[in-house]
A and B are shown apart, each in its own frame.
Chain A
Amino acid sequence: MTDDRPRVDITKISDELTRRELLRKAATGAIVLVYGGVGARSAVAGVPRFRHKELKETLRILQWSHFVPAFDRWFDNTYVKVWGRKNDTDVIVDHISQAELSARVAAEAAAQSGHDMVATLAPLPQYEDQVIDHKEIVQTVSKKRGKMKPVSHRSTYNPKTKKYFGFADNYAPDPINYRTDFWGEVGLKPTTWDNVLKAAPRLRSMGHPIGIGMSNEIDSNMALMSLMMCFGGFIQTSKHKVALNSKGTRRALTFARELFRRGMSNEIFAWTASSNNVGMTSGRLSLAMNAISITRTAEGQNPDLAKRISLLPIPKGPNGRLGLEHVMHTYMIWKFARNKKGAVKFLADLELTYIGAFENSRFYNFPSFPTTVTNIERRLERDPVALPKGKYKVLKTISDKYTYNVGYPGFTNAAIGEIFDTYLIPQMFAEVARGDKTPADAARDYHRRFETIYAKWRRRGKI
């Protein structure tokens, strides 16, 4: 075969490149050895946990990273260590970010192993079958401190199965945050929704729109559900039948559409949970509904601005003032937990001595058993950082009078949980606000969707 193509000398190739290959292999090997030494022990043996020889039991807790980092430091390094010593238990606290919580919880349920208890920012009724009945904790605390607040009770109890599918140790009240300077200029206060609508166009023209999200995130969920309730719209009745398609809901939808057209901007459809925070602390928004993470952040970042943000209960609507908790912090103890007794005692003790958590969370965490924290009002008033002083006193009024559970007037059940976790209410409001649907159509469509969801969970015997 005659061709002009240069012939390849095999032996030369392999010699030259084998050397190079050898070098590469050696390098890789070296890296592996080094890291092998570093990581092998922990990879195989697990985390070298220093086990105190004198501690008998272990308790593993998984919870979110508190937006006040100091709370986590207090909880992890002080509170659990003290409790652990008193109860001969090694308490291990792992943290996770809010967004990843649901995946991790599902994985632990599927794996039937993991932590003894998990704390979530909203109760998860759908896991009722995988967790123990938490009534023992409720009873222990009730005996010493009186009844649990209705809002916490209705968020964690299933009247059909008569089971507490979680223990809500605390919740966060949900005030209105508003800019006193801008609203002062307009000459109004956001005490009623009518006022908000009245002030909205002027505020927006000043460059400071209203900030109520209509996006797939928790703040939008809470704000819009409360708005609905203030206008008489409810997802379910007290007997847990779907009640969405009502005059109240349609009124709320119409109102929200008007509010959006006159006083909000397109950004609200793209919000994450942090967007209204950033919107207020950067000085742009004139009003937002959020727990005190906004004001606390402002106090650290921009004290001058913090002075001009004030708190009020939810504005009054035709159906009165009905607000929701911003967060219902719930612990779930798995059925497969290895230390159920320890977990139960831990939670009971935590609630009985809730003062530490209340203070260290800088009043974000309100106890479900109000008598566990003495003199709440005075503590709120005395907050050293609050600008102006006594700003946080209104939180007590809100928590006493205007905080209801998600699913009011019924209980928080699995269907409510699904509606909540898939952000159906913000979607309904967004579609109406953008003009994609009329209020009547939206209410009807979503009512039908909710009925399918309710039917599903009723079939499973949960409602």
Chain B
Amino acid sequence: MEAATAARPRRRRRAFLEERRFLAPVLIAPACLFIAVLIAGPLLLAVYLSFSDATAGSLTGDWVGFDNYLNAWDNPVFRKALWNTVLFTVASQVIVLIAAGLLAHALIRPFRGKWILRFLILLPWAAPIPLGAVAWLWIYDSLFSVVNWTLVHDILPGGGELLPYKIVNAITPWTIEPFDPPQWLGDPTLALGAVISVHAWRVIPFATVIFLAGLASIPKEVDDAAKVDGATGLKKFWYVTLPLQLPIATVALLFGIVFTAADMTVVYILTRGGPFNSTQMLTTWSYQTGINAGSLGEGAAISLYLLPVLAAVAILMLRFARRSEVS
């Protein structure tokens, strides 16, 4: 009892920090402050720009109300850009989720050669994306595309003959002409595929690592407990692993979405939004309008269309992630 009384004054001092009400803001404040100072100002300025007719790098202009937003919508290229943003994001992230999920589960167990294979899988994320995109530009080149080369040349060493394009022609509805191979960046449909493939390619390692870290974070005792309770294989996956992974998987998916939807580099380097604006995204179209064409106000408005859409998605997913507590 004496110990308890002696401990009381110390505890009173500590009580301040014990209070959730105080500890929480103390911990969150630095991050909030930093971001508010650095982002809020420029963001508000950008919003102001979108309501003005500012041009050519000047940060001031006359008020035009919602004109920029309405005019943007009238342009068919903008609607295509909006659709593309959704398409690229959904398509690439579906691929990413499936791939990362499979990979993470396969990589969590030890096996020979895992280190090398994991290294290979990490490579796309390690390459700075502007340079990686330039490499893909060369891979999809109109003349020297190695994809096309592999398709129309014999890839079997030695005597036999294995021409991949013949296989593709046989089993898919598409036809590949050996002397006029597909223009990956020149055909509107193929270009969409090319962009989606590069987005997926670079996000898969990222998602895999997050999933892996999530899996590894599950304390062994939960794993053992599950075994003790008799849950294995699919049951274990559904009732134990999945719920535990959900918060992290949601965050990973969300960031994958943001990386893709708000990214300009991949499309800009691969296609510049072409062929004839069929691969424009909101970010590249906003850049084209605001910087290249000099209509800054319009460019800002186009960019800001992205915000509510992403925000809605984000809020939903984050609520979901926060609710899934582990107990």
Q: Please tell me if the beta carbons of A109 and B58 are within 8 angstroms of each other in the complex.
A: yes
Residues of chain B within 8 A of A422, CB atoms compared: 288-289, 292-293
Residue A14, interface by CB 8 Å: no
Q: Please tell me if the beta carbons of A5 and B221 are within 8 angstroms of each other in the complex.
A: yes
Q: Please tell me if the beta carbons of A282 and B291 are within 8 angstroms of each other in the complex.
A: no
Q: Please tell me if the beta carbons of A279 and B143 are within 8 angstroms of each other in the complex.
A: yes
Residue A107, interface by CB 8 Å: yes
Residue A105, interface by CB 8 Å: yes
Compute how far the CA of A109 lies from the CA of B143 in the bound complex, rounded to whole angstroms: 39
Could you say which of B185, B187, B277, B296 contacts A427, with CB atoms under 8 Å apart?
B277
Query: Which chain A residue shows the least CB distance to B186?
Result: A270
Given A279-B143, A421-B292, A421-B294, A107–B187 Cβ distance below 8 Å?
no
Residue A215, interface by CB 8 Å: yes
Shortest Cβ distance from A440 into chain B, in angstroms? 18
Q: Taking each of A108, A278, A279, A423, which has the highest tally of chain B beta carbons within 10 Å of its own beta carbon?
A: A423
Compute how far the CA of A460 lies from the CA of B56 in the bound complex, rounded to whole angstroms: 12
Compute how far the CA of A269 lies from the CA of B183 in the bound complex, rounded to whole angstroms: 8
Residues of chain A within 8 A of B294, CB atoms compared: 124, 126-127, 414, 417-418, 421
User: Which one of B13-21, B268-276, B318-326 is at the A interface?
Assistant: B268-276
Q: Please tell me if the beta carbons of A418 and B293 are within 8 angstroms of each other in the complex.
A: yes
Shortest Cβ distance from B302 into chain A, in angstroms? 13
Q: Please tell me if the beta carbons of A109 and B57 are within 8 angstroms of each other in the complex.
A: yes
Among B52-72, those with CB < 8 Å from A are 53, 55-59
Shortest Cβ distance from A52 into chain B, in angstroms? 33
Q: Please tell me if the beta carbons of A216 and B295 are within 8 angstroms of each other in the complex.
A: no
Q: Please tell me if the beta carbons of B274 and A215 are within 8 angstroms of each other in the complex.
A: yes
Could you say which of B58, B137, B224, B273 contacts A130, with CB atoms under 8 Å apart?
B58
Residues of chain B within 8 A of A108, CB atoms compared: 57
Secondary structure type dominating chain A contacts: helix
Shortest Cβ distance from A98 into chain B, in angstroms? 12
Number of interface residues of B (CB under 8 A): 41
Residues of chain B within 8 A of A430, CB atoms compared: 275-276
Number of interface residues of A (CB under 8 A): 45
Shortest Cβ distance from A210 into chain B, in angstroms? 14
Residues of chain A within 8 A of B272, CB atoms compared: 215-217, 272, 423
Shortest Cβ distance from A9 into chain B, in angstroms? 11
Compute how far the CA of A265 lies from the CA of B272 in the bound complex, rounded to whole angstroms: 20
Among B250-274, those with CB < 8 Å from A are 271-274
Residues of chain B within 8 A of A266, CB atoms compared: 180, 183, 186-187
- Name A's B-contacting residues (CB within 8 A): 4-6, 8, 102-103, 105-110, 124, 126-127, 129-130, 215-217, 265-272, 275, 278-279, 282, 284, 414, 417-418, 421-423, 426-427, 430-431, 456, 460
| Cβ-closest 4 pairs across A and B | A109-B57, A270-B186, A267-B142, A126-B294
- Name B's A-contacting residues (CB within 8 A): 53, 55-59, 137, 140-144, 180, 183-187, 191, 219, 221, 224-225, 228, 271-277, 287-296
Known: A127-B294, A430-B276. 18 other contacts (CB 8 A): A4-B228, A5-B224, A5-B228, A6-B224, A110-B58, A129-B56, A129-B58, A216-B271, A216-B273, A216-B275, A267-B142, A269-B275, A270-B183, A270-B191, A270-B274, A278-B141, A421-B292, A422-B293
